[in-house]
């Protein structure tokens, strides 16, 4: 894949995803998800917001010290103390990124920040310069860009790129935009910001109107080269763009998008199940790609068509996104291999035989008491363990 045609996948399940009310995760759970994201081959993992709490800083540190094949990112407001927290938490990362942000919309500047536009430009530039003491990989987001004035947005973006931001992320923070408008915004920025060619333009769309994926894809068509998204579309309020939908759309419709990601799509379903199990947010059956019915054919006409030729009613192959054909029911008579393979499908990989043996012993104890063991039971018994699988 040439660099020109690569779409960078920035996963923020561990940061914006965790902002879903009720979706908070322990440090061990975050590390387990981070490993699954690494197997999925996401380019950037946003591991958390270190200044938010000592627990979040510790989780970002643990993820940074574990992950080797993806960039690990920490969020920071455009404040020195936040940037210091992020820089320290990311010290052990193979490839650290600091993501700093400051709002640029009139309503946020006036009512929330109580800052003038000039002050916002000065603080954004200072934050980017300051963050460079920790890493050269700096991302800047003008928060609420989707409701910001174009001329001012161009001014801020030009200034932060000149200060060293390598990625400029355009968030539709409140999910207010519609696809034509959002694609138009990205196109206008790429055309009007004089130094736009010195940074990667990214998008971060929220799903308040159910348009997060459509808006992200419109932006890709307009030239955005990074998409921020989450597993199962988890995220603040109605969520963020769903990673699995963005990835499978650009892969399936290369005739339209002319780019691809480095995602190993066979890891999508295991990763989705792991996140659903850990957060307790179930996946609706008709959810695209990862819902239980996404590849199920119920009507006779459809079943007949698929049996004659799969492509009559299928635009993707279930195996390509990680669905497995043989679903074995686990119970007290099940063996270690069936146990290991079911957990693998759920995104859990044991670091050693010892770990597997410990988990298998606990499974047998539960299986003695319960007739059938469900995925939730398996994930719960892994979560209770001290190991971070």
144 binds Zn ion (CB under 5 A): no
Annotated binding-site residue? 206: yes
216 binds, among ligand KIV, Zn ion, none (CB under 5 to 8 A by kind): none
Q: Which residues bind ligand KIV (CB under 6 A)?
A: 16, 101, 141, 143, 169, 171, 173, 204, 206
What is d(CA 98, CA 101) in angstroms, rounded to the nearest whole number? Answer: 10
- Closer residue to ligand KIV (CB): 141 or 167: 141
What is d(CA 16, CA 356) in angstroms, rounded to the nearest whole number? Answer: 32
Helices (H), the chain: 27-40, 54-66, 80-89, 106-107, 117-131, 150-163, 179-192, 212-221, 243-252, 254-257, 268-279, 300-308, 336-345, 353-369, 375-384
Min separation Cβ 280 and ligand KIV, Å: 22
Min separation Cβ 112 and ligand KIV, Å: 12
82 binds Zn ion (CB under 5 A): no
143 binds, among Zn ion, ligand KIV, none (CB under 5 to 8 A by kind): ligand KIV
Question: Mask: binding to Zn ion, 5-44, rule CB under 5 A, as x and -?
Answer: -----------x----------------------------
Cβ atoms of 125 and 97 within 8 Å: the answer is no
Give the total of residues touching Zn ion (CB under 5 A): 1
What is d(CA 274, CA 345) in angstroms, rounded to the nearest whole number? Answer: 9
279 binds, among Zn ion, ligand KIV, none (CB under 5 to 8 A by kind): none
- Closer residue to ligand KIV (CB): 16 or 82: 16
- Closer residue to Zn ion (CB): 16 or 158: 16
48 binds, among Zn ion, ligand KIV, none (CB under 5 to 8 A by kind): none
Q: Is the dihedral of CA 208, 210, 215, 220 positive or negative?
A: positive
Min separation Cβ 57 and ligand KIV, Å: 17
- Closer residue to ligand KIV (CB): 143 or 345: 143
CB atoms within 10 A of CB 370: 12
Min separation Cβ 69 and ligand KIV, Å: 24
Cβ atoms of 37 and 11 within 8 Å: the answer is yes
73, HSE (Cβ side, Cα atoms, 13 Å)? 28
Annotated binding-site residue? 309: no
Classify strands 200-205 and 226-229 as parallel, antiparallel or unpaired: parallel
- Closer residue to Zn ion (CB): 16 or 56: 16
Min separation Cβ 159 and Zn ion, Å: 22
For Zn ion, which residue has the nearest CB?
A: 16
Q: How far is CA 75 from CA 12, 101, 258, in A?
A: 10, 8, 30
172 binds Zn ion (CB under 5 A): no
SS3 240: strand
345 binds Zn ion (CB under 5 A): no
Min separation Cβ 306 and Zn ion, Å: 38
- Closer residue to ligand KIV (CB): 66 or 141: 141
SS3 44: strand
Strand partners, 100: 76, 140
- Closer residue to ligand KIV (CB): 148 or 265: 148
Of 4, 10, 3, 2, whose CA–CA distance to 263 is shortest?
Answer: 10
CA–centroid distance for 367 within its chain:
34
Return residues touching Zn ion (CB under 5 A): 16
Binding site, by residue number, is 16, 204, 206, 240
List, as residue ranges, the binding site for Mn(2+): 16, 204, 206, 240
């Amino acid at each position: 894949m040439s660099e020109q045609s690569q779409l960078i996948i920035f996963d923020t399940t561990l940061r914006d995803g965790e902002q879903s009310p009720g979706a908070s995760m322990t440090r061990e759970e975050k590390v387990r998800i981070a490993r699954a994201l690494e197997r999925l081959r996401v380019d950037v993992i946003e591991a958390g917001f270190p200044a938010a709490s000592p627990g979040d800083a510790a989780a970002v540190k643990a993820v940074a010290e574990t992950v080797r094949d993806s960039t690990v990112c920490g969020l920071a407001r455009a404040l020195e103390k936040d940037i210091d927290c992020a820089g320290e938490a990311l010290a052990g990362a193979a490839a650290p990124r600091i993501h700093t942000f400051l709002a640029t919309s009139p309503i946020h500047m006036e009512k929330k920040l109580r800052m003038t536009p000039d002050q916002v430009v000065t603080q954004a530039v200072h934050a980017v310069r300051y963050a460079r003491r920790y890493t050269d990989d700096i991302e800047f987001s003008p928060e609420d860009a989707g409701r910001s004035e174009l001329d001012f947005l161009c001014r801020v973006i030009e200034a932060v790129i000149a200060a060293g931001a390598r990625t400029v992320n355009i968030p539709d923070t409140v999910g207010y935009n519609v696809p034509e408008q959002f694609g138009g915004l990205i196109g206008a920025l790429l055309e009007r910001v004089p130094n736009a060619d010195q940074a990667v333009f990214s998008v971060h769309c929220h799903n308040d109107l159910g348009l997060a994926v459509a808006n992200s894809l419109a932006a890709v068509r307009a030239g955005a080269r990074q998409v921020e998204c989450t597993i199962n579309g988890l995220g603040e309020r109605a969520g963020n763009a769903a990673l699995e939908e963005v990835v499978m759309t650009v892969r399936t419709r290369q005739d339209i998008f002319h780019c691809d990601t480095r995602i190993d799509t066979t890891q999508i379903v295991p990763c989705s199940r792991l996140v659903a199990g850990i957060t307790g947010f179930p996946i609706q059956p008709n959810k695209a790609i990862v819902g239980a019915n996404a590849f199920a054919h119920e009507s006779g006409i459809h079943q007949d068509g698929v049996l004659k030729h799969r492509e009559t009613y299928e635009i993707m192959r279930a195996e390509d996104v990680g669905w497995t054909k043989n679903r074995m029911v686990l119970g007290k008579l099940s063996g270690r291999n069936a146990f290991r393979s079911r957990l693998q499908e759920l995104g859990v990989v044991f670091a050693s035989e010892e770990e597997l043996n410990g988990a298998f012993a606990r499974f047998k104890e539960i299986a003695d008491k319960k007739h059938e063991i469900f995925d939730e039971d398996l994930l719960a018994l892994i979560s209770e363990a001290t190991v971070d699988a």
